């Protein structure tokens, strides 16, 4: 068995993507980033990939007439990159059934809240943190999970909390959660690369 390869899918600035680039470089993740699949052509994540010498493929949803053809294009991009698994790092499109069929329990997503709260359709970016603040909860955090056929419902790999402070704004809470994401995501990807994530129904066991 050679070194595993994984693709990263991003739709924005790519700070989570950068945390993975850095962790691979430091040897914390024993795998190679084989490709960035960018959801838009003008995002900063592309610049990060180019600086790191990582191939880029732009697969923009608005270039496709329907969800099925977009799904097939994402699947084909992953297959062409010879990815063993994929990581969604601030990726805003829904992964479709054709891609999931080829990569079952091999696509990891990070969500900026504690699933099953504040998740599902419409809950992304600052919409999540705004809902958290409006609810009055005292804890938020980040969740890393496998992707299945429905938004944010796949088996949970890892969760960590951050406090929600009385005077928090969307921006201040987002910064605290993002810092936690940057710590968590490389750890989860390292476990995936080492084959230490075992899915048992809705549960994920981390093996020795």
DSSP symbols for 152-174: T-SPEEEEEEEEPPTT--HHHHH
Tokens of 194: 């080492």
The rounded distance, in Å, linking the Cα atoms of 111 and 120 is 10
Cα–Cα distance for residue pair 90/16, rounded to 1 Å: 7
Q: In terms of Cα–Cα distance, which of 162, 29, 45, 25 is closest to 108? A: 29
**Looking up tokens 């900026």, which residue turns up?**
112
Place of tokens 């950068």: 18
Phi, psi of 66 (to 5 degrees): -150, 170
In the residue annotation, 129 being an active-site residue is answered as: no
Choosing from 111, 129, 145, 182, the catalytic residue is 111
The beta strands (E) that lie in 59-167 are given as 85-88, 107-111, 139-146, 156-163
Indicate which residues carry an active-site annotation: 111
């Amino acid at each position: 068995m050679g070194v595993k390869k994984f693709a990263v899918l991003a739709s924005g600035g790519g700070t989570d993507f950068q945390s993975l680039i850095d962790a691979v470089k430091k040897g914390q993740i024993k795998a190679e980033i084989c490709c960035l699949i960018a959801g838009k052509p003008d995002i900063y994540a592309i610049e990060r990939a180019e600086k790191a010498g990582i191939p880029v493929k732009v697969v923009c949803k608005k270039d496709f007439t329907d969800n099925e053809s977009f799904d097939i294009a994402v699947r084909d991009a992953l297959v062409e990159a010879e990815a063993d698994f994929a990581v969604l790092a601030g990726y805003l499109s829904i992964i479709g059934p054709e891609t999931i069929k080829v990569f079952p329990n091999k696509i990891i997503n990070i969500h900026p809240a504690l699933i099953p709260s504040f998740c599902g359709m419409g809950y992304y970016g600052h919409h999540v943190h705004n809902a958290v603040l409006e609810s009055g909860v005292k804890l938020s955090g980040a969740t890393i999970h496998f992707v299945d056929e429905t938004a944010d419902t796949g088996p949970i790999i890892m969760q960590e909390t951050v406090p929600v402070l009385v005077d928090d704004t969307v921006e201040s809470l987002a910064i605290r959660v993002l810092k936690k994401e940057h710590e968590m995501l490389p750890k989860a990807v390292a476990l995936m690369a080492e084959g230490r994530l075992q899915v048992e129904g809705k549960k994920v066991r981390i093996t020795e």
